[in-house]
Structure 1
């Protein structure tokens, strides 16, 4: 039940509260480091805002995991990044432009600890999604 409702309800709730508080509160960030990623829709060209669990690297980069709660399909924001890798990321009322690069399987192995910090139940989601897809993970580097 949770995995059926969460992908629709949690992001909408986060965005609504974030908007109503003028960007001061993002409910998910009370539990885990959360950002808002603004991508460009690959079909519409419209800006799309999505709250995501993320891990901040010491070099200013971020990791985001397209787990989609282990659902059988990739989240739209990840497809948007594949088509337009330049996006905006908001964290604690600070917005930066980032460039996304999808991690290879080798990269994911090397960065496994950061991935598990980002989404502690990554392995559960990966197992649930695996018959249908491999979970995409993106490295978001600050745009110069």
Structure 2
């Protein structure tokens, strides 16, 4: 946790936060460009992050997005929460359409496989993730879709 983590958690808890996704994404892309991709918005907030790169299922073009991650041993947990937006993030559908993805974690690149968690596995991971980002529960309360949780494993 960093000094800005409580501020990030507070901002992320507001129901209107998804309205600012375009601005957050714009800022994040500029921050990554200025820092030569060493830092993203999540890093500045003092939270663990990955840069997920997966090929677009329709375009065939590799797409990258910065995500909050929760390390779990040698694996990573990510959630398709999209800041509690009613629509799911595009990266989740793209990930489901392929068997592997690329991630950058702590300035190291890895090829990963993924598994979408269900049942008790998902519940355990969800509880673990909420210790890092308590807003996941708030997002789940205010949207009608089930937030997907993925476990990424290094190849």
Unaligned runs of 5+ in 2: 1-15
1:95 matched residue in structure 2: 109
Residue 140 (structure 2) pairs with residue 126 (structure 1): yes
Residue 49 (structure 2) pairs with residue 34 (structure 1): yes
Output the CA distance in 2 between the equivalents of 1:19 and 1:85.
29
Output the CA distance in 2 between the equivalents of 1:102 and 1:12.
28
Aligned Cα RMSD in Å?
1.5
Q: Which of 17, 28, 32 lines up with 1:2 in the alignment? A: 17
TM-score when scaled to structure 1? 0.88
Output the CA distance in 2 between the equivalents of 1:93 and 1:72.
32
Output the CA distance in 2 between the equivalents of 1:80 and 1:25.
24
Q: How many residues align?
A: 139
Residue 78 (structure 2) pairs with residue 64 (structure 1): yes
CA deviation profile, 1:52-73 (whole Å, cap 9, x unmatched): 0001122x21000100111111
CA deviation profile, 1:44-96 (whole Å, cap 9, x unmatched): 111111010001122x2100010011111110000001111311111222110
Aligned CA distance change for structure 1 residues 90 and 43 (closer, same or farther; 3 Å): same
Output the CA distance in 1 between the equivalents of 2:119 and 2:100.
22
Aligned to 1:111, the other structure's residue is in SS state: helix
Q: Which of 96, 115, 140 lines up with 2:129 in the alignment? A: 115
Aligned to 1:25, the other structure's residue is in SS state: coil
1:118 Cα deviation from its structure 2 partner? 4.4
* Pairs within 5 Å for 1:49-60: 49-58=64-73, 60=74
Q: Is the 8 A contact 2:77 2:125 kept in 1?
A: no
Q: Is the 8 A contact 2:17 2:83 kept in 1?
A: no
Unaligned runs of 5+ in 1: none
TM-score when scaled to structure 2? 0.82
State the 4+ residue runs in structure 1 displaced beyond 6 angstroms: none
